[in-house]
Amino acid sequence: MAYWLMKTEPGAWSWDDQVRDGVAEWDGVRNYQAANNMKAMRVGDRAFFYHSVNEKRIVGIVEIVREYYPDPSDASGRFGMVDVKAMTELNKPVTLAGIKADPALADFALVRQSRLSVMPVTDAQWKLICRLAETEA
Protein backbone atom coordinates (compact mmCIF):
# COMPACT_ATOMS: atom_id res chain seq x y z
CA MET A 1 0.00 0.00 0.00
CA ALA A 2 1.20 3.50 -0.83
CA TYR A 3 0.33 6.76 0.89
CA TRP A 4 -0.53 10.15 -0.57
CA LEU A 5 -1.72 13.63 0.29
CA MET A 6 -4.49 15.25 -1.76
CA LYS A 7 -5.21 18.95 -1.44
CA THR A 8 -8.57 20.62 -1.93
CA GLU A 9 -10.00 24.06 -1.37
CA PRO A 10 -12.70 23.52 1.26
CA GLY A 11 -14.97 26.05 -0.46
CA ALA A 12 -14.91 23.88 -3.59
CA TRP A 13 -14.82 20.38 -2.01
CA SER A 14 -14.58 19.88 1.74
CA TRP A 15 -14.18 16.95 4.09
CA ASP A 16 -17.88 17.33 4.94
CA ASP A 17 -18.71 17.02 1.20
CA GLN A 18 -16.55 13.89 0.97
CA VAL A 19 -18.19 12.30 4.02
CA ARG A 20 -21.66 13.17 2.73
CA ASP A 21 -21.00 11.57 -0.66
CA GLY A 22 -18.86 8.68 0.62
CA VAL A 23 -17.22 7.89 -2.72
CA ALA A 24 -16.37 10.77 -5.06
CA GLU A 25 -14.24 11.56 -8.08
CA TRP A 26 -11.01 13.46 -7.50
CA ASP A 27 -11.08 15.49 -10.67
CA GLY A 28 -9.85 18.83 -12.00
CA VAL A 29 -6.13 18.13 -11.55
CA ARG A 30 -4.24 19.95 -14.33
CA ASN A 31 -0.63 19.65 -13.18
CA TYR A 32 1.46 16.94 -14.85
CA GLN A 33 3.39 15.97 -11.70
CA ALA A 34 0.18 15.70 -9.66
CA ALA A 35 -1.46 13.73 -12.50
CA ASN A 36 1.51 11.35 -12.61
CA ASN A 37 1.15 10.82 -8.86
CA MET A 38 -2.52 9.96 -9.41
CA LYS A 39 -1.54 7.53 -12.19
CA ALA A 40 0.64 5.71 -9.64
CA MET A 41 -2.25 5.26 -7.18
CA ARG A 42 -3.70 1.79 -6.71
CA VAL A 43 -6.96 0.61 -5.20
CA GLY A 44 -6.46 0.34 -1.45
CA ASP A 45 -3.87 3.13 -1.22
CA ARG A 46 -4.67 5.78 1.36
CA ALA A 47 -4.39 9.55 1.23
CA PHE A 48 -4.51 12.41 3.66
CA PHE A 49 -7.34 14.83 2.85
CA TYR A 50 -5.85 18.32 3.10
CA HIS A 51 -7.84 21.56 3.30
CA SER A 52 -5.78 24.24 1.55
CA VAL A 53 -6.23 28.02 1.27
CA ASN A 54 -7.12 29.48 4.69
CA GLU A 55 -7.20 26.27 6.75
CA LYS A 56 -3.94 24.62 5.66
CA ARG A 57 -4.45 21.41 7.60
CA ILE A 58 -4.93 17.67 7.16
CA VAL A 59 -8.45 16.81 8.29
CA GLY A 60 -9.16 13.24 7.17
CA ILE A 61 -8.11 10.04 5.42
CA VAL A 62 -9.52 8.67 2.18
CA GLU A 63 -8.97 5.39 0.35
CA ILE A 64 -8.41 5.06 -3.39
CA VAL A 65 -11.30 2.95 -4.72
CA ARG A 66 -10.88 3.45 -8.49
CA GLU A 67 -7.61 3.89 -10.32
CA TYR A 68 -6.80 6.65 -12.81
CA TYR A 69 -9.24 7.10 -15.68
CA PRO A 70 -10.08 9.97 -18.09
CA ASP A 71 -11.46 13.18 -16.58
CA PRO A 72 -14.45 14.20 -18.72
CA SER A 73 -14.02 17.83 -17.62
CA ASP A 74 -10.68 17.97 -19.50
CA ALA A 75 -11.41 18.82 -23.13
CA SER A 76 -7.78 18.14 -24.08
CA GLY A 77 -8.03 14.51 -22.96
CA ARG A 78 -4.62 14.72 -21.24
CA PHE A 79 -5.71 14.50 -17.62
CA GLY A 80 -7.57 11.95 -15.53
CA MET A 81 -8.96 11.34 -12.08
CA VAL A 82 -9.33 8.72 -9.37
CA ASP A 83 -12.22 7.89 -7.06
CA VAL A 84 -11.76 8.17 -3.31
CA LYS A 85 -13.82 7.01 -0.35
CA ALA A 86 -13.97 8.76 3.02
CA MET A 87 -12.43 6.56 5.71
CA THR A 88 -11.93 8.57 8.88
CA GLU A 89 -11.77 12.10 10.17
CA LEU A 90 -8.61 12.89 12.10
CA ASN A 91 -9.09 13.14 15.84
CA LYS A 92 -6.81 16.18 15.80
CA PRO A 93 -6.24 18.04 12.50
CA VAL A 94 -2.57 18.47 11.64
CA THR A 95 -1.72 21.98 10.49
CA LEU A 96 0.88 23.02 7.95
CA ALA A 97 2.52 25.12 10.67
CA GLY A 98 2.77 22.03 12.88
CA ILE A 99 4.26 20.01 10.03
CA LYS A 100 6.84 22.72 9.27
CA ALA A 101 7.76 22.90 12.96
CA ASP A 102 8.61 19.19 13.13
CA PRO A 103 12.21 18.50 11.99
CA ALA A 104 11.27 14.89 11.17
CA LEU A 105 8.98 16.25 8.41
CA ALA A 106 11.49 18.66 6.82
CA ASP A 107 11.65 16.49 3.67
CA PHE A 108 7.88 16.11 3.39
CA ALA A 109 6.66 17.09 -0.10
CA LEU A 110 4.07 19.41 1.46
CA VAL A 111 6.95 21.48 2.83
CA ARG A 112 9.22 21.25 -0.23
CA GLN A 113 6.58 21.53 -3.00
CA SER A 114 3.82 23.47 -1.32
CA ARG A 115 1.86 24.18 -4.52
CA LEU A 116 1.61 20.54 -5.66
CA SER A 117 -1.95 19.26 -5.19
CA VAL A 118 -1.30 15.49 -5.10
CA MET A 119 1.91 14.17 -3.57
CA PRO A 120 3.44 11.01 -2.16
CA VAL A 121 3.84 10.43 1.57
CA THR A 122 6.48 8.02 2.91
CA ASP A 123 5.57 5.29 5.38
CA ALA A 124 7.50 7.10 8.14
CA GLN A 125 5.76 10.43 7.38
CA TRP A 126 2.36 8.70 7.35
CA LYS A 127 2.97 7.09 10.75
CA LEU A 128 4.25 10.33 12.27
CA ILE A 129 1.34 12.42 10.98
CA CYS A 130 -1.16 9.81 12.19
CA ARG A 131 0.52 9.96 15.60
CA LEU A 132 0.30 13.78 15.59
CA ALA A 133 -3.37 13.46 14.59
CA GLU A 134 -3.99 10.96 17.39
CA THR A 135 -5.57 8.75 14.73
CA GLU A 136 -4.92 5.14 13.74
CA ALA A 137 -4.93 4.38 10.04
48-106 pLDDT tens trace: 999 999 999 999 999 999 999 999 999 999 999 999 999 999 999 999 999 999 999 99
Interior angle at CA 48, CA 40 and CA 85, nearest 5: 75
Residue 137: predicted pLDDT = 74
DSSP-based three-state secondary structure for 54: coil
C-alpha–C-alpha distance, residues 57 and 45, integer Å? 20
**For 41-74, b where at least 16 C-beta lie within 10 A, e where not — what string?**
beeebbbbbbbbeebbbbbbbbbbeeebeebeeb
Residue 114: predicted pLDDT = 87
Q: Count CB neighbours of 117 within 10 A.
A: 22
pTM: 0.96
pLDDT greater than 90 at residue 118: yes
- Could you read off the pLDDT of 89-99 as tens digits, one per residue? 999 999 999 99
